[in-house]
Chain A
Amino acid sequence: MTRFAPPRWTLIALLAALTLIAAVASLLFGAVDLSVARLIAAATGSGDEVATIILFDLRLPRTLLALVVGAMLGLAGAGLQGYLRNPLAEPSVLGTSNAAALGAVGAIYFGVAELHPAMLPVLAIGGALLSLALLFALSGRSESPLTLILAGIAVGTLAVAGTSLALNMSPNPFAAMEIMTWLLGSLENRSFQHFWIALPCIAFGSALLLWNARALDALTLGEDAAQAMGVNLRATRLRLLIGTAIGVGGAVAVSGSIGFIGLIVPHLIRPLTDRSPSAILLPSAIGGAALLTIADLGVRIIPTTNELKLGVVTAFLGVPVFLIHLMREKRLW
């Protein structure tokens, strides 16, 4: 069997174009649709007051967040699948996203979140960092991927247990409801403040994960061969751990738990590349940005009585991808 894949930069250019279209659509459509003319007028500073407020206070921060959070989740998924050499790995396998969620839930539970809008994301990032310290303690010195998965499961389970405890002990149904709503994941009512909190974490995390590209390729041949080709396994693992914890932690801190993006996007991208782990990193980041922006647009456009939560939509998107994978494995197509 031979196969055809578009040249790398063609793929990246196409994905970037798709992302741009999704971003513009995300600025145009919502509870109140803006026309292209009104959007351009507002963007250039000569628009009406309503359009300017919608654009700069509501849609622009939301769109920018969808782009960076989606990119981080897509990249983290691709990086983890490459490192663990397991196509079912996703950003939450290390438990850091659950830990970030626990930090956020703690902020809501203890009422700290009401003190300042930045408190919740900051505590969430604190939760991610704490889980990183735990991961180090449990598996930092080892070089095998299995110890990392086990440590990730331990950390993740602990964080989920803590979150359940908070729900269990919540003083009133409203607090429980607030926690639940946050856990479902959403980009509604986010401001530029959230964007500026998430961006440095995501930029730092992404840089560390992209740095691993060559090492991930070498790991295609196993750990011994990778080391014999000059890969420093410990450094590779540290970059993966820190990059995922801080990057995904920063993303979860502002968006809540949004699952499946990190799992689906590398699967959608892989057949369009030469299948090497390095080739899917950057395209997965761009594809993740596009997919989350489109999903967030869907949340706004689909008419429902309660606003549909982003995490719910992405979870539904995950199902067909698994089914396709299953059918391919069974050679049904």
Chain B
Amino acid sequence: MLTLENVGVQLGRRSVVQGVDAAFTPGTLTGIVGPNGAGKSTLARAMLALVPATGRISIDGDAVAAMPRADLARRIAYLPQGQTLHWPLTVERLVGLGRLPHLAPMSKISDADAAAIERAMIRADVQGLRTRIATELSGGERARVLFARALAVEAPGLIADEPLASLDPGHQIDVMELMRAEADAGALVIAVLHDLTMAARYCDRLLLIDDGRIVADGTPHEVLTPELLRTVYGIDARVESGGDWPTVTTFGRARP
């Protein structure tokens, strides 16, 4: 259980996130949506104590700000936005980096770690790439490999920041299904997303953020309404809400 109470983030003189109250429970996939610059990524980073935040953010009652980094790392895995790889590691070695939070100083990768790496590669379907060089993969392969790295942590929580960026529709579905499966297996999954229809289709719950505040919080049906899309995104959109999930078709910029 991840709890945010009156959370605010100040970057420089600008208040990027303010007055956010939310609680996230295991077994749910929550999408954080909102326009560019709304503070979605900053909110995600605050949950991982990567930016200093006011208010209180806690996991099962323990404040993240006071938690040792390694401890927090074992509880929430993080997949940052648009990751760059600085060295040409093999896929297997890269996925293995996910075990770093579990390794005691000076110890080697144990059998349990090797098994976790294997499981993560199977779940993300990258076993076939294991000896390839990660920097030489295609965008879709690379996204799955980086996802496998986050899975290898085997943390009860996962926060993914725009995991669908630069993926084609097929690979977008693959990644969303991976996150759905994680949540169904009991994990607490939070994803920052831009594609509203994808978010609506796979998420149990959506948080709509605008100007650093939560403007709507609920099921996709509750959050994705033409009125909210108009005020938050400034777009005219039609929302088909007849099916299992709402689909959003945008027409253009809303006229004032």
Contacts and interface: CB of A to CB of B under 8 A. Distances in A.
Interface of A: 1-3, 85, 214, 217-222, 224-225, 227-232, 274-277
A219 B97 CA distance: 10
* Interface core residue of B72, B86, B90, B153 (most chain A CB under 10 Å): B86
B110 interface: no
6 contacts: A2-B90, A220-B89, A220-B94, A228-B50, A228-B76, A229-B153
Given A275-B88, A276-B87, 8 more contacts: A85-B86, A214-B103, A220-B97, A225-B78, A227-B48, A228-B72, A230-B71, A276-B89
A211 B74 CA distance: 21
Q: How big is chain B's contact interface, by range?
A: 35 or more
Contact of B97 (A85, A217, A232): A217
Interface in B73-90: 73-74, 76-78, 80, 83-90
A232 to B, nearest CB: 6
B87 A85 contact: yes
A231 B85 contact: no
Contact of A230 (B85, B101, B131, B136): B101
Contact of B84 (A1, A2, A222, A277): A222
Contacts of A228: 48, 50, 72-73, 76-78, 80
B253 interface: no
Interface string B8-50: 0000000000000000000000000000000000000100101
Contacts of B97: 217-218, 220-221, 229
Contact of A217 (B83, B84, B100, B133): B100
B83 A274 contact: no
What are the 3 A-B residue pairs with the smallest beta carbon separation, nearest first?
A230-B70, A230-B73, A228-B78
Given A230-B69, A274-B89, A274-B93, A1 B100 contact: no
Contacts of A214: 100, 103, 105
B74 to A, nearest CB: 7
Contacts of A1: 132-133, 136
A225 B83 contact: yes
B80 A230 contact: no
B149 interface: yes
Contacts of B89: 220, 274-276
Contacts of B103: 214
Contact of A227 (B69, B90, B94, B132): B69
Contacts of A227: 48, 50, 69
B74 A221 contact: no
B50 A229 contact: no
A228 to B, nearest CB: 4
A212 to B, nearest CB: 12
Given A217-B100, A227-B69, A230-B100, A277 B136 contact: no
Given A220-B89, A230-B70, A275-B87, A3 B80 contact: no
Nearest to B73: A230
Nearest to A235: B69
Contacts of A277: 87
Contacts of B77: 228
Contacts of A274: 89-90, 93
A61 B112 CA distance: 47
Nearest to B146: A221
Contacts of B87: 85, 220, 275-277
A221 B83 contact: yes
* Interface core residue of B68, B78, B100 (most chain A CB under 10 Å): B100
A226 to B, nearest CB: 9
Contacts of A217: 97, 100
Contact of B86 (A3, A220, A224, A231): A220
Nearest to B41: A224
Nearest to A233: B69
Interface string B144-187: 00100100010000000000000000000000000000000000
B74 A230 contact: yes
A221 B85 contact: yes
A1 B48 CA distance: 36
A231 B80 CA distance: 15
A229 B85 contact: no
Contacts of B94: 220
Nearest to B132: A2
Contacts of B71: 230
Contact of B50 (A85, A220, A224, A276): A224
